[in-house]
Each structure stands twice: as structure tokens, then as C-alpha cells.
Amino acid sequence: MSLTIYHNPRCRKSREAIQYMEGRGVSLRIVKYLDQLFDVNSLREVLKKIDMKPSEIVRRNEILWKKEYDGNNLSEDQILKLLVEQPRLIERPIVTLGNKGVLARPIENLIEFLNQG
């Protein structure tokens, strides 16, 4: 089983998810999404796999969100484009396998996802 994790090395939850999977011998492809940026189509595809809308993966406690965007009446398409332009606003980690995936926060989401496989 080879999973893809969209990872930010500075995020403790993301590092914990990698450690958890590596500890179970899971083969991983690590995508540092702040370096390998999403475009609208690739992020849309990931959202489809995790069955979530753009608004559901926004890091709402991020200062940038609070200062610039919170309270604005943004459409899902506008939020999608914003996440592509400002990837640090994307909640992480996201783990995918084939055409399925999960927002692996909290880690229990990841554990449940792996147990379904």
C-alpha cells in the first residue's frame, strides 16, 4: 500500500502522521505542498478524494485568514482559488490512496482510514 501525504514539515500533526505511518511500515509518497504547489485542478481532485469542500479545509485560526478573509462571503470556488494562492491556509495533513483520502487531523481520522484499507 502506497499512500500520498500532503505535508508541511513545520506542522506537528503532519509529522506525527508520517511517524505513525512509517511506524507501521506504510509506503509513503510525501508531497511538501508548500514547495510543490497545487493548481486549481489538482486541489479539486484531492478535495474529491477526501469528500470535502474547500471551506472545510481552511485553517481558520491562521492569522492570514482572520485578517484578510474571515467574515467575507466567499464562494467555494473563491475559497478554492484562495487555497491555491495561499497554500498555508490548507489544513493538514491530507492523506490519499487511489481515489480515496482523508484529512488526517485528528490522527484518529488517519487510523480509521488505514483500518478501512
Residues known to be catalytic: 11
Residue 3, helix vs strand vs coil: strand
Distance CA 30, CA 3 (A): 8
Cell numbers describing residue 20: 505513525
**Rounded Cα–Cα distance for residues 15 and 48 (Å):** 24
Dig out the grid coordinates for 12 from the structure: 506537528
Q: Cα angle vertex 60, ends 108, 83, to 5°?
A: 95
